[in-house]
Amino acid sequence: MNLDNLRTNYSKLITYLEAEHYSSSYIVKFKSEINNILRSENSMSWTCYKDIYHEYKLKSDSYHYLRHKRSIIGAIEQFDLNGKFPDGQSRNMLVPRDSYHSLNDEYKSFIDLYCEIENLTEKKSTTIHHESQNASAFLLSIQNQGIKKLNDVTEEAVLAFFISASGELLRGCSYRKNITAVFKACMNHHSQVCSEILAYLPMLREHRKTIQYLTTEEFNQIRNTLNNKDSQLSLRDKAIGLLILHTGLRGCDVASMTLSSIDWEHDLIKIVQAKTHVSLELPLLAVVGNAIYDYLVSERPKLDNLYIFLSQNRPFNRLKNESIGTIASRIMNISNVRTHKNDRRGFHIFRHFLATSLLENDVPQPVISKTLGHISPNSLSPYLSADFVHLKDCSLSIEKFPVIREVFLNE
């Protein structure tokens, strides 16, 4: 392992971290790790940076400790081999994180075949990715049971992926659906084995979890918190909360909004949805526009970054999708809403509340679908179960059914 480049140029990495105002403790960790690598170069039989990481893995099984080491060593590797500086977003490649990389050659070839076939169709790349990932996890389970070839797969091995020895359901209908898609796509090349494995897949009933609906009282509490100038929320969090509360936008779309997404002259929000890749145009309400403007003028770092919402710590990168969920949780804590364990706290309930409110006020379903950015009219179906106003219109009287008097007595 040649470390001459690191030895000669690592000072540039440290200078970059200092210039980007990374914390002193973070910079110290880089210095310490680099010194340790260079000091141990001759005494260790390292061939690559993965070997350095595995030395730590032999000493500890602490998740957080190893995660920290992966982050630091991975960043050093990217600088040394590719000349890349840390940006707060790029993932290190020290340890592949998906099942595919643990598969044997035959199983990898099968997944590769599926991707090759489907990439020639109009299927979305994200769908191909999810289906191949689920199928890889399925094949890895088969492989871990000692079965190395597709022709040797048994029904017992297939069922073990879905159902535990005690009869507990381990994976549901979505896994079965994605695995089915992969094996059907490869049917022309592996007809017999694909047919057999598809026949082994268990019949699972598709169901949706009961959704915790946002009540009108909770909505008002959250809205009051977002509009309160004296609340503990930052201007950024208020802007994001009001934006999603009044538009129902997905968190991932808010995180990816750029300065050009706001048409101030015509009071419009213009985005391309991450989930569907379809353009969406929504009116920019005054309360939302004012909140975004306040954030841009008074709080947002003065940087040439195209994204609207940035992290609050240096180097002020664009918000990650998971950070949007953290903001939702913070808003609900301050609003004293959904504070119990297992309460649903993500921003999606804002989207759900908007849809059901529009339904209850007799807004035509095509208009609601367009507002939410749905491609298929069927996407609105899950929201219909919460349209209590119209559901009550469908209720039947029980006057003609015999019911004993005690049923209606107060306890």
Name the residues annotated as catalytic: 250, 275, 348, 351, 374, 383
Residue 163 contacts residue 169 (beta carbons within 8 Å): yes
The letter for the amino acid at 361 is N
CA distance 251 to 240: 9
The neighbouring-strand residues paired with 94 are: none
Q: List, in sequence order, every beta strand (DSSP E) within 19-76.
A: none
CA distance 306 to 401: 65
Residue 110 contacts residue 150 (beta carbons within 8 Å): yes
Residue 254 contacts residue 240 (beta carbons within 8 Å): yes
The letter for the amino acid at 410 is N
Give residue for tokens 């595919």: 100
CA distance 224 to 215: 14
CA distance 349 to 386: 12
CA distance 173 to 193: 22
252 three-class SS: helix
342: which 2 tokens?
A: 């297992």
